[in-house]
């Protein structure tokens, strides 16, 4: 198949390109040409901008398009209008953040309400990201109808993850010493390896599959994740579980200062964003062992040079918080 990937060189896009090439497809990439352009030297690359420069997309015919870089309706409206008559199948990578209500167990495609904007905007932030993606989904469906496929991934992890949300824990446990861990050990969490996601998406594209699918892994406890990291990295780490209320009191940011953590509250009673991916699993979505994801992420992280962390606590901040927590619980 001839596949056009919008994005294709950073994290998920990079894995998607690798999966498509491995499956023997002819790939074209469209992006701004600013990230990892040394990758895929034998792949055709079209340089442009989703916001205001689609000139290089005005010619060409493809069997399928995979849209990884569409975040706001104006971007998706422009590309769908431009490509509608020259592409047979459109896959849009959305997010589980399109859902409004996480208070009644894992969200599902059929019964969970979707988040809506409180006011019209295309500014992306924590409140608008999900609703904007939801609007993008509707544009794709309206343009491509029975030739559209919408994927709503949960938290995506693995090598090349520049967000550092999963990588922080692999690195921090691997360092050893006393590690501050958030909330309760049995708190349920969920993720999907980018390679499992992209390999499945390529299979769905090959089948010209349609519909909307959550794509999230099997759930596990936070304790299970950290213990697995400790075992895989053979680290001498001691895990100190710190209560939600203390972290909230200290204004520790969910998923930023403390990855894989949301303080339990009315909207997120489990302390995480959980999704039901059983529909995708019936269509062939599978998951590699957690040990493989941890090991590969650990090796990738070890090879990075001069990295500035985007998520997680500094060693100094972690030590400070632990000292303060010990004082509080020993009063």
pLDDT at 331: 73
Query: What DSSP element (H or E) covers 211?
Result: strand 211-215
Count helices and strands in the chain by DSSP H and E runs: 10, 13
Q: Provide Rg for the chain, Cα atoms.
A: 21
pLDDT at 86: 97
pLDDT at 305: 87
Pairing of strands 26-31, 2-6: parallel
pLDDT per residue as tens, the chain (331 positions): 999 999 999 999 999 999 999 999 999 999 999 999 999 999 999 999 999 999 999 999 999 999 999 999 999 999 999 999 999 999 999 999 999 989 999 999 999 999 999 999 999 999 999 999 999 999 999 999 999 999 999 999 999 999 999 999 999 999 999 999 999 999 999 999 999 999 999 999 999 999 999 999 989 999 999 999 999 999 999 999 999 999 999 999 999 999 999 999 999 999 999 999 999 999 999 999 999 999 999 999 999 988 999 999 999 999 999 999 999 998 7
173 closest CA partner among 165, 163, 184, 181: 181
Backbone φ and ψ for 53, nearest 5 degrees, come out as: -150, 90
pLDDT at 301: 97
Q: Among positive and negative, which fits the CA dihedral 157, 159, 165, 169?
A: positive
Find all residues with CB under 8 Å of 59, minimum gap 6, and list them.
none
Distance in angstroms (rounded) separating the CA atoms of residues 280 and 258? 29
Q: Which domains does the chain have, with CATH numbers?
A: 2-153 (3.40.50.720), 165-190+218-273+289-329 (3.90.25.10)
Distance in angstroms (rounded) separating the CA atoms of residues 189 and 111? 21
């Amino acid at each position: 198949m001839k596949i056009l990937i919008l994005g294709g060189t950073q994290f998920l896009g990079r894995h998607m390109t690798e999966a498509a090439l491995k499956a023997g497809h002819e790939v074209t990439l469209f992006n701004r040409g600013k990230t990892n352009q040394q990758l895929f030297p034998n792949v055709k690359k079209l340089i442009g901008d989703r916001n205001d420069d689609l000139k290089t997309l005005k010619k060409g015919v493809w069997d399928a398009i995979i849209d990884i870089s569409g975040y706001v309706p104006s971007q998706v409206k422009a590309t769908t209008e431009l490509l509608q008559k020259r592409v047979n199948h459109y896959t849009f990578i959305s997010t589980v953040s399109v859902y409004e209500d996480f208070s009644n167990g894992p969200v599902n495609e059929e019964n969970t309400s979707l988040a809506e904007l409180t006011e019209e905007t295309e500014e992306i932030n924590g409140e608008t990201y999900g609703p904007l993606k939801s609007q993008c989904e509707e544009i794709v469906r309206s343009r491509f109808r029975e030739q559209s496929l919408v994927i709503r991934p949960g938290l995506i992890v693995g090598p090349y993850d520049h967000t550092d949300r999963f990588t922080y824990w692999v690195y921090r446990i691997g360092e050893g010493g006393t590690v501050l861990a958030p909330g309760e050990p049995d708190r349920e969490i969920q993720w999907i390896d980018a390679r499992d996601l992209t390999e499945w998406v390529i299979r769905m594209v090959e089948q010209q599959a349609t519909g909307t699918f959550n794509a999230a892994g099997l759930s596990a406890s936070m304790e299970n994740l950290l213990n697995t990291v400790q075992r895989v990295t053979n680290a001498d780490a001691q895990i100190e579980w710190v209560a939600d209320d203390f972290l909230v009191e200290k204004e520790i940011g969910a998923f930023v200062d403390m990855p894989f953590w949301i303080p339990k509250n009315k909207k997120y009673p489990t302390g995480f964003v959980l999704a039901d991916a059983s529909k995708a699993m019936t269509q062939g979505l599978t998951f590699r062992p957690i040990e493989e994801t941890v090991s590969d992420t650990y090796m990738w992280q070890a090879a990075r040079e001069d990295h500035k962390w985007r998520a997680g606590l500094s060693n100094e901040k972690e030590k400070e918080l632990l000292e303060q927590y010990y004082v509080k619980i020993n009063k």
